Structure 1
């Protein structure tokens, strides 16, 4: 879900859509999109800005005294409509933290203070104010929803030295704020991929419905810009409605035989039920936010067969991801999602930045956070290996941490390199049928 270049749309399209169905099923055994609990429904609600100054004067004790732990903050969706993602994040965060502390950062441990955004912007801003203004953390992981991350940045982090690294936000507007880093790739690549896939399937007319928030609007706008065919229907919808009969009837009346859904799982499940009960027929396509085991459980058997989705993916065929997935399975008795991998890499990147920086301040961390994942350094796939380079006198530019979620390599906009995978609903289950990479 990333558009990390400044190329023209046509060049970006050629670079992005390098997927092959032949790669699909074999490489995706145990893939990262397996739902590891919860329904992952989402929101990008707005919120009132706070007045956080976000400054910190900690020059090395991390809030824990000499020799005490380095303390950073994390804003996560522990409750609310994005809590399924928060649950996944916490597992990834805990696994990474245990590995960092097994090695240590120059003899000290890392501590992460976690606050709940409640999956909404205003509580997220309040949580960030507590961590930045009261606890004085110089590094903030957060948040899940794109609107929450933007509200935190604009109200608390902007114009301070605090480093903010979002674990899960894919909204396109984050690219406009280069100091707001993110580990999950932008939705731009997802929109381009969907446009190309629908066209390659032989459709020249599409009906689109999207959730009425930043996420839905931005991905849909990007799709429409890339789409060369007819947009026969384009309509937003609100969340948590009991019925979407007017939306699905409008899509059916449009005459388009390709229907694209950029919404959340609960809303999509309701739409599928109403499409099925009315006997409507179309080829379905969807963004990552409509995919989950809960959708399969709450829709009639066969009602989505043939649907194609584009979702974030980790490089599941790479050794470091497979080792991470095995450790995750051993620890939690379930397979990881890409969201857990993103959170894991946020923690490792923060820890490497702390070790590489001259001092434990936001300004010092900001100078090195991009460099520890840049391809100019020696490629390493674990915190232990990267930490060893730094401990032997290496600098941030001597390290190229290759994350379990991919190579990272933040660009000038704070966006990472990203992977996508194509899922197709077959026999009322999700099957991997290809990859997209930037």
Structure 2
């Protein structure tokens, strides 16, 4: 084991994201928030940058959700979404949110993907206002500390606990860990460290967008651990896998990863077989539930590929927003905030589509009368703004992701 003073960096020294300001409404329909012209909400998504794989599937799901909602209508009108690009970074994400809230006057904001971006938006733009913020994909543990920031995907703490259990179940009592130097990486690492009963023999953070991680991979190899855990993003992990392959590292090592390691760009950017056997954990979806099957069929027919759990979360964000508008007394952030939790609560009648829920509301029902069961599964936001959730375990086989089944969180 190498000297801790050399290997460990201050995990609280979080990387401050930054990039040049640049705003563009890259998708969506720009409208007003006046009822006579329909209802317009906002969305901050990762259309470019390190989390663009998530953003692409989000947008594909949003298209389908809007089709399903607008086939029925929202109080007789259509729902529009103004979509802005966070570039997967905090500063562009903040600028995007400021435009949506301060210029477009949206009372409901879906966003963002990265946990650090979501937190930055909440702290600097949403906090102190009545605007409802609902993240489509953020799993950072620290979001639980902000009950006003809702999220559709479950906390990453559940992933960290599951990864600790799986590594132990696979017989590894030592592990080498590297995590991205931001809120997401820091919070998931802390949760893993608390849950893992073995010894973490190597622990180091890494910055984003490095051209090479050879030194990091070499140090992980020198640790002697036969299990390596990566808590990072797709582009960074792709570089790491290529460094492992070119350097001859990791041939006899079992790899593990968080949800953010997975993506088509990783498969496309790494050599065949370079990750085979790797296990990953990500939020799961009810793959045998009728509404999910219908959603998956529509998604594949429209986009030529199966949806991921992140696609389902984005779809449910749009439906939840539409149901909140339908149930609220007026189209304001305060009124939407009063009902957004209730439309998914178990006290109401279980409904599995927007159309079913809309019928109850249109007939005089209230938010308390419906319990929307999402295509991602039961939502049931708790007092911290966190949903219920299950986890899916995946394994890389023949350079593809294969489900090993759901695991209770």
* Matched residue count: 383
Report the Cα distance in structure 2 between the residues aligned to 1:303 and 1:105, rounded to whole angstroms. Answer: 49
Give the alignment's Cα RMSD to 1 decimal: 1.8
Verify the 8 A CA contact 2:53 2:264 in the aligned structure 1: no
Which one of 72, 77, 90 corresponds to residue 59 of structure 2?
A: 90
Give CA deviations for 1:195-215 in whole Å, capped at 9, x if unaligned. 000001111111101111111
Which one of 213, 231, 240 corresponds to residue 200 of structure 2?
A: 231
Verify the 8 A CA contact 1:44 1:215 in the aligned structure 2: no
Which one of 398, 408, 415 corresponds to residue 386 of structure 2?
A: 415
CA separation of 1:113/1:273 partners in 2, compared to 1, >3 Å: closer, same or farther?
A: closer
Q: What is aligned with 2:125?
A: 156
User: What SS does the corresponding residue of 1:294 show, helix, strand or coil?
Assistant: helix
* Structure 1 alignment gaps of length 5 or more: 1-42, 49-61
The answer to which of 302-311 and 407-416 deviates more is 302-311
Report the Cα distance in structure 2 between the residues aligned to 1:66 and 1:191, rounded to whole angstroms. Answer: 44
Q: What is aligned with 1:431?
A: 402
User: What SS does the corresponding residue of 1:73 show, helix, strand or coil?
Assistant: strand
Which one of 176, 186, 196 corresponds to residue 165 of structure 2?
A: 196
Give CA deviations for 1:227-283 in whole Å, capped at 9, x if unaligned. 111110001111222222221121111111111111122222232233334433211
Verify the 8 A CA contact 1:44 1:148 in the aligned structure 2: no
Does residue 268 of structure 1 match 2:237? yes
Report the Cα distance in structure 1 between the residues aligned to 2:99 and 2:270, rounded to whole angstroms. Answer: 42
Report the Cα distance in structure 2 between the residues aligned to 1:44 and 1:164, rounded to whole angstroms. Answer: 24
Q: What is aligned with 1:5?
A: none
The two structures have a TM-score, normalised by structure 2, of 0.89
Give CA deviations for 1:318-338 in whole Å, capped at 9, x if unaligned. 111000001111222221122
* Structure 2 alignment gaps of length 5 or more: 1-13, 20-30
Verify the 8 A CA contact 2:299 2:306 in the aligned structure 1: yes
Which one of 342, 363, 368 corresponds to residue 313 of structure 2?
A: 342
CA separation of 1:66/1:195 partners in 2, compared to 1, >3 Å: closer, same or farther?
A: closer
Report the Cα distance in structure 2 between the residues aligned to 1:400 and 1:44, rounded to whole angstroms. Answer: 40
Does residue 144 of structure 1 match 2:79? no
Within a 5 Å distance, the mapping from 1:2-401 to structure 2 comes to 46=17, 63=32, 65=34, 67-280=36-249, 281-401=252-372
Give CA deviations for 1:374-428 in whole Å, capped at 9, x if unaligned. 1111001100000101111111011000001111111111011112211112233
Q: CA deviation at 1:115?
A: 1.7
Report the Cα distance in structure 2 between the residues aligned to 1:243 and 1:435, rounded to whole angstroms. Answer: 34
The answer to which of 214-223 and 71-80 deviates more is 71-80
Verify the 8 A CA contact 2:53 2:263 in the aligned structure 1: no
Verify the 8 A CA contact 1:44 1:146 in the aligned structure 2: no
